[in-house]
Structures are given as C-alpha cells and as structure tokens.
Structure 1
Amino acid sequence: MAAPSTSRMNDDEHNPWERKKPKQPPNIDELFLKYSRQYFGSGPGSESSANYTALALLLGVLALFWFVSGFYVIKPAEEGVLLRFGRFVERQSPGLHWMARGINRVYVLNTNRIDTWNYSAEMLTKDENYAKVALSVFYRIGNPEDYLFRVTDPITSMENAVASALRQVIGSTDLEAILTTGKESTRRQVETLVNEILDDYQTGIVVTDVKMQEATVPSSVIKAFDNVITAREIKAAKISQGERYVKDIIPKAKGKAQRVVEEAKAYQDEVILNAQADVAKFLALLPRYEKNPKLLSDRIYLETLQKSLGRLNKVYVNDSRSLIYLSPDQKSIKSPPQAALVDTLTTESTVTNKQKGA
C-alpha cells in the first residue's frame, strides 16, 4: 500500500498542470476596481454612502478655502503686477482684488516710497585735478513691470549708472566750479543723465532728486588748495574795495564837473551881460558926446582916474599942498603926526624941485 502512494506523489510533482503557482504582486486593475466599488459603488451598503459624503464635504471645504485665499488688498501707496502662468497680464491699482491660486501670481510693490543711496569717490576734473565728490541719490520705483522683469538687478544697475554719470559730469567741469559756484549745475546734470541711462536700460527706477555734498580735495594737496582759496578771497576783497572806490569817486567827479560847467555858464552869462551893459552905457552917452565931445571926454577921463586912483594907497603932492588918497577899504585916516610927516616930505620935495629948476 505504501509503494503506490509514493509513486503517485512523484507523478504529481512532475505534472506541470498540478504545480503550485508562485506568489505575485497584486494587479493594479483589480485594486482600482476594488476601491471603486467600496467608495463609489451604488450598492445598498450604508458604509460606502457615508464615505462618499465625507469625501464630497472635504472637497467642498478645500474649494472654499482656495477661493477665499485668492482675495488680496493693494494699499494706496502700492501697485500690483498680475501674472498668469508666468506671463505678464496687467498692472493693478490699489483696492481689493482676486486671483486664481495656482494659475495667477501677483507681485505687490510700493511705488511711492523714496529710498536713498549715498555715493562718494575721488575722480579727475576737466583741468586735471583730483576732487573727492559725494552725493545722495533719492529714487523710487516708477514702472513695476520693468523693475521686475527687464533687468536682473535694477538697484545695482542704478548704482552703476549714478557712478558713471557723476564721473562724466565731473570730468567735464573745472575744479574751481565744483568747489564754488558749479555745484547746482553739476547736480542737475547728474540727475538728468542718470534718468536717461535708467530709461534706456528700462530698469523701472526713477531718480527724484540728487543732493551734492561738499566737494573736497585730497589731503596731499589740501595745503595748496587752502592757499588758492585764500588768494581767491583776497582777490574778491580787492575787487570789492575797487568797486566801492569807483562808486564813491565817480559821483564826486561828476558833481565837480557839473559844478565847473555851471560856473563857466554863469561866468559866460556875466561877461555877456556886462558887455551889453557897457554897450548900453556908451550908447546912452553918445548924444552928449555929439553935442560937446571935449567936455564929455574930459569927464570920462576924470571919472576913470577917480576910480583907478581910489583903489591905490598912495600920496600925491604938488607945489601948494599935499593930497592924500585913501583906499575905500582903508579903515582909518592917518594920524596928525603922519600928516605932519607928509607935509615935511612935501616941503622938502618942493624945495628940491625949485633948486633943480634954478
């Protein structure tokens, strides 16, 4: 009995149809069909209906959360840039907005905030002198689209543009103008040139103002420049002194010249009037001269002598008596001793004349 059983066992082992199949992984189609029947089946089981309701509720909550999370607010000083699948769509103004999460994306930038960047460097001027120049640049975002997508690093681009523009302007300006009266002109040129460069590169940045600091010279030549400044101040003082002198002397000279002219005109008028008076006087004497020329001639002669001798302080003597003519401005008449002296001199003179005559 034992032998036949052993022989049958060996036949079963060599039979390919009766051999046991090895273990294999589960089929994907079977798994999908199994879980579909469990959660979405329409059978009468209460367990599958409850699972379907829970899944639908979860999906609704997720959808509501996704919808609510799409709302956002842009503040009054800000501006938004809307992208859809990475492509620019529009610029958004302040207010309440909504976007589809996962599809759209928004960048919000403050376009009214003014930022400051300070820069200083030593550079060569037009007259080949070194100057240390410092400035402060005030800028803001003017175009959010260009600021985000046109340039990789707009801030660095702006800094390079400021440095380049400043060197260009300083290189075309003399050192004296930079240190004294040319700072305002230099500031305006730098601001204009920087904005032109930023517009060409489409950085989206606008420079609103540039403030120039006090320009100085390197320490190695500071003493020489101090001497130059001192000489400039002395020059200005001398010019100011000369201008004050001119303002003082010219009015005086003009006044003196005017006075001389007026005196000359007055003298001219006086001479003319005196001449006209003399002519009128002689014309008045003409009828008398025509009647008796000798009498009028003697009268005029005697009156002329009287006027001439009346201004002289001299003594005239004759044979009979002494005559004394005093000047009109003489304040006193000679004293009796002086008169006696005059009589003595007159007598001696008379005697001398008689002796000479004998």
Structure 2
Amino acid sequence: MPWQSNGGGGDRGPWGQGPRRGGGGGQEPPNIEDLIRKGQDKFKNTFSGNVGGGKGFSLLLLLVIGGWLLTGFYRVNTNEAGVVLRFGEWTETTSPGLHYHLPAPIETVIKPKVTEINQIDIGFKGTGSVQGINYSVDLAKERQMLTGDENIVDVEFSVLWRISDAGKYLFKVDNPAQTIRTVAQSAVRDIIARTPIQQALTAGRGSIEREARENIQAILDEYESGVEVTQIKLTKVDPPAQVIEAFREVQRAEADREKTVNQAEAYKNDIVPRARGEAAKMMQEAEAYKAQVIAKAEGEASRFLAVYEEYKQAKDVTRKRMYLETMEQILANIDKVLIEKEGGVVPYLPLNELKKKQ
C-alpha cells in the first residue's frame, strides 16, 4: 500500500501515523480530530495551494454548473406525453423518447399518461376512481332521471375517456375529471328526457349510448379540454326500486295487451283477405251472369228480328212454320193418338215406346 512505504517507515496508516503499541501489543485507534484536520488541509491544498485559488473555485463552479445542466435530460415513456413548463407557462408537448429542457427552476416537465383509459362511474360506486372528483353526492338522486313520457328511471352509466392533448388537459380546464362528470350527467339527462321509458329500457339503449358520447365529446371539444371520450356504457336502466313491482305489473299488462292486439291483427289478416276473395268471386260471378243474360237477350232479340224480317216477306209461310215448330215442341213429349176425321182409330207405329225402352 502507498502509505506503508512513506518515509521508509514500517507499518503506517493513511494519514502518516504509525501504529502505537501498548503493553498489550494492540493497535490504538486514530485521533478523530487529527483525521478531520488533516482532511481539511488536503482539501484546501487541492483547490487553493496546489492549483491556485481562482482556478480551483472556477473548476468547482464548472462542476456544479455541469451537474445542474445534466439534470435537464428527461425521458418520456411510451404511454406518456411530456408537457414542458417554462416558469410555470406551458411551452411545448414532447413525444415519447429522450429529450432535454432547461434545468429547474427555469423549466420543468409534467408527464401525464395519455394512453391510459380512465373510467368515471355515475350513479353508483364502481371500479372507476379518478382524482379530483367529489364522490360525496347522493347517488340515489344522481341516478334518478325523468323520461320523455314523464316516468322516472334509475340510470347508472360509466364514461370511458383518455387524454388526447396533454397540454390542454392540464391547463385549459380546471379539474377536468369533475368537468367530464358534470358534462356527462347533463348530456345523458337531456337524452333520457327525450326518450320514452319503454325505449330506454329495451332497444333504445344503444342509440342513447352513441348519442351521449357524441354530445359529451362535442361539449368537451368546445371547452378545449384535451379529452377523448372512447365509450359510454349504460350499466343499468330500471324503474326506481320503490315502484319496480308496480311497474312490472304494468309491463305485464302491456304485454298482454300487445298479445291480444297481435292476435286480433292476425285474425283480421286471416279473415279480411278471405272475405275480400269471396266478394271478388261473387262480383266476378255476377259480372259473368250479367254478361250471359245480356248476350242471351241480345241473341233472342236478334233471332226475333231475323224471324220478323222473314215474316214480313212471307207472312203465311212464316206463320205456318212457327205453328208447326211450336206444336212440335208441345207434342214431342206426350202420348199421341191419331184419329181420322171420318172414322176410327188409325194404327200407328209406337216409336215413342221403342225410344223409352232404349
């Protein structure tokens, strides 16, 4: 060791003092005051006596300034954004990576998490916990809303959001989380006030969520809040607990009414087309009978006119022919007996009897 060869001495310590052996042969502990004094002398010799007083102070000052300047390096993680403040004023926003700013207290950096999805629960105490929100409100009153048909419902929902612009989020709006909560309540109440209760309880929930997200985002953009609303989730839309049983009875009655109406509509849809078909059939038959009667009448009239024309040309012949045709029709289906004008019965061939046998 270097101190062991100092001045040719034997076993010496680092401060130039050899061990003292007593009667017991053990080593005595060094004097603390001597050690402090010698350390101070060496420090003074280094920065004043050996190098020079001005140069030593300058070197020390340069070391201090260099260390202070090195404190300006900072790193922004992938899930963060760096907001640089110069004497408390926002100057720029930096992306993830290694950056440099003027050391404190000239410039400082705030690094909020911009990719993290935050959740604010309204009307109930859920998993969402965001700093800066007053949770001492009456949740029962907070979730009660009036529908478009003047019914009361309990609405519980969550707002999922993230920071889209870190600078605006930190400095444009005072208490952004509470602002988001207030805006969300106002937007959802406005939509529920224009929605019938049946629609809010059933198929209208999806449209309520979409409209609420758009309205909330529009208001926050107008405030330049630097917040992006990613989703609105309606976790519960029910009548108040005090009247839920009565409401369910009303719903069952409504369901029965709808069932009866649907059955009546089904019967109507079955009987009306058949009645209309029967009516159309009767109309068609009547039209056919009408056409038949008219055609027959027109035929009879044409036949009469034709006969009349012939009658005018040969009245005697036509009269006789008409007489013979009429008698032929009359005598065709009756039994006939021929009697001569002068005498008895004239035998004849019974053709009608032969015809009956056939």
- Whether these two folds match at TM > 0.5 is yes
Correspondence list, 1:225-244, <5 A? 225-244=247-266
Residue 230 of structure 2 aligns to which amino acid in structure 1? Answer: T
Contact kept? 1:39, 1:51, Cα under 8 Å: no
- Matched with 1:252 is 274
CA RMSD of aligned residues (A): 4.1
**Distance of 1:136 and 1:317 partners within structure 2:** 115
Instruction: Look up the match of 2:137.
Output: none
TM-score, normalised to structure 1, is: 0.63
Question: SS state of the match for residue 213, structure 1?
Answer: strand
Structure 2 partner of 1:175: 197
Matched-pair contact (CA < 8 Å) for 1:141–1:206 = yes
Q: 1:107, CA displacement in angstroms? A: 1.6
The yes-or-no answer on 1:261 pairing with 2:263 is no
Contact 2:161–2:231 (CA under 8 A) maintained in structure 1: yes
Q: Bigger shift: 50-59 or 117-126? A: 50-59
Q: Secondary structure at the match of 1:161?
A: helix
Q: Who is 2:9 aligned against?
A: none
111, 115, 120: which one pairs with 1:112? 115
Note the residue ranges of structure 1 that are not aligned, 5 or more in a row: 1-36, 42-46, 327-331, 335-358
% identity of equivalent residues: 32
Partner AA of 2:84 in structure 1:
L
- Cα gap change, 1:57 to 1:272, in 2 (>3 Å): same
Work out whether residues 71 and 96 of structure 1, in 8 Å CA contact, stay in contact via their aligned partners in 2.
Answer: yes
Residue 229 of structure 1: how far off its partner (Å): 0.9
Structure 2 residue matching 1:191: 3-state secondary structure: helix
What are the within-5 Å matches in structure 2 for residues 175-194 of structure 1?
175-194=197-216
Give the number of the structure whose residues are more often helix, by fraction. Answer: 1
SS in 1 for 2:321: helix
What amino acid maps onto 1:180 in structure 2?
T
Pair 172,292 (structure 1): closer, same or farther in 2 beyond 3 Å: closer
Shift of 1:76: 5.1
Q: Could you say which residue in structure 1 is the equivalent of 2:101?
A: 99
Task: Give the 3-state SS of the residue equivalent to 1:238 in structure 2.
Answer: helix
Match 1:125 to one of 146, 150, 156: 146
Match of 1:11 in 2: none
Structure 2 length as normaliser, TM-score?
0.63
Alignment partners' CA distance in 2, 1:129 and 1:265: 59
For 2:83 and 2:327, how far apart are their aligned partners in 1? 122
Counterparts of residues 298-337 of structure 1 (less than 5 Å) = 298-304=320-326, 306-307=328-329, 333=356
**Which structure has the greater CA radius of gyration?**
1
AA partner of residue 97 (structure 1) = H
Q: Is residue 134–residue 215 contact of structure 1 (8 Å, CA) maintained in 2?
A: yes
**Cα distance in 1 between the residues matched to 2:330 and 2:157:** 93
Go from structure 1 to structure 2 and tell me whether the alpha carbon gap of 1:196 and 1:287 turns closer, same or farther (over 3 Å shift).
closer
